[in-house]
Chain A
Amino acid sequence: MAATHAIASGMGGMRTAGDLVARMQMSRGMRIKEAKKYVAGKLNVSPVELSDPLVMSERREDLKLGLINPPPDSVKGIESKFHIAELLGVEINSLRRFKEKSGI
């Protein structure tokens, strides 16, 4: 069922910019239109392009935001959250904890 919803009306998570738009709803309480506009502005793409895997995979690779099939030497997991937090200007709770625990 989750897969059908994703095909019918989903943004696509890390295949596109779904996780980034989700972070703006979660951290700033933005509505979908506002969140898409904010993320699109930060990525220098149009709101429609946020759901385009071709455009977004290139932007994600360039900006080190994480890919679903990451090549060697690319960012993965917590590493990508550093770049996401900086790009979007938000605090990520797990990143805050990681910095505290690792003494960064």
Chain B
Amino acid sequence: MKKIRTRMGDSSLVELTEGELKREFEEGTQDAAERGKIPAITQEELDHLFDIYSSPSRIAGVEMGNEVIFTYDSTCGEVQRTLTPIDRTQSLQLFERMLGADTVELGHNDYSFKAVKPVISYERNVLEQALLITTVPVLYGAMPNLGLYYRPEGPVQNPSELMAAGKINEAREAHEEAIEYAVKDMVFVASELYESGVDAIDFDTTGSAGDPDFLATLRAVEILKKKYPEFCIEMGMSGEFVLGMHGELTYNDVRLAGLYPHQQIQLAEKAGVTIFGPVINTNTSKTCAWNVARVVTFLKFCVEQSNIPVHANMGMGVGGLPVTPFVPIDAVSRASQAVVEITRLDGL
């Protein structure tokens, strides 16, 4: 019986029969449908997934005309972590001129708004210089990263310690206090960068510290859009559903804890977000086929519910890509084609 070579979510190779591969897609879409209470993908879409993943080719790709645009989370970081000794501005040029990037993104090593605040003058100077010598849109990216506002790193009592001591109300108050600090920092940093001419701000890995992180970012977006109505704001998420670290926080009377991408995007849109970046996590103990079927199910419904452009997160460990530092080309290109052609989203 013919075997198809594919991968697990941890990137290891596995061989499946045609029947087994088809079953992976069916179970993946059912899992997303049950968790998100959304429709599963159609038989035609399952067949298209099978065609993509059963191909023996090393690389897959969309049909001509189906291409989308890309925004990135720190094009500088991608180069810096290879220890290639070049300046951040040169990294942006490298992406623009060598890799054909549609947009580039400047970011600080720490990549958090709280860390950028004390060095904002330096960041503005680098940005202003970069904007003179590049043609493609330049975004600035950083994470809301509410975790940095809790002790010992920050000024607010640590909610995890309070919870462990049974002080639930005090823990919630600590989260609420951290939100105030984070909103001020995000609005300050983004405003400074707007005045320097940045094309867009990217609130990346939003919600990494749960519902207080998500709420702080929604509030910062709301303030920035009132201040600068033309400002392009991208919100990239950190996980497929919002963790309830506080549990009772709401935005526009909607409880934030437990929201999935199609629900997150509606609040992002209300706050004034221009481009939304949903995340679907990879399960390492399942196949890439199972994972990608889950991804396209969540994303397709998210795109259908949206009135703003959707750029899915398709990096390591999300978007149907395996969890490994060196993601294989076959896994990336197959997920790329599947997500673009089935969900009809606007970018990655």
- Which A residues lie at the B interface, using CB under 8 A? 1-16, 18-19, 21-23, 25-27, 29-32, 35, 47-48, 51, 65-66, 68-69, 76-78, 80-81, 84, 91-98
Contacts and interface: CB of A to CB of B under 8 A. Distances in A.
Given A48-B64, A97-B196, A2 B78 contact: yes
A68 B69 contact: no
Interface stretch (B14-22, B80-88, B144-152, B325-333): B325-333
A97 B197 contact: yes
A32 B31 CA distance: 29
**Interface SS of chain B:** loop
Nearest to A16: B100
Q: Which are the 10 A-B pairs with shortest beta-carbon distances?
A: A94-B197, A18-B102, A8-B336, A66-B135, A94-B131, A97-B197, A8-B333, A19-B136, A13-B100, A26-B232
B50 interface: no
A96 B270 CA distance: 28
Interface in B132-187: 132-138
Interface residues on B, range: 35 or more
B70 A26 contact: no
Nearest to B133: A77
Contacts of A12: 67, 100, 102
A29 B100 contact: no
B135 A11 contact: no
15 contacts: A4-B327, A4-B332, A7-B59, A11-B69, A12-B67, A13-B96, A14-B136, A18-B101, A26-B274, A32-B68, A35-B346, A69-B97, A77-B134, A94-B131, A94-B199
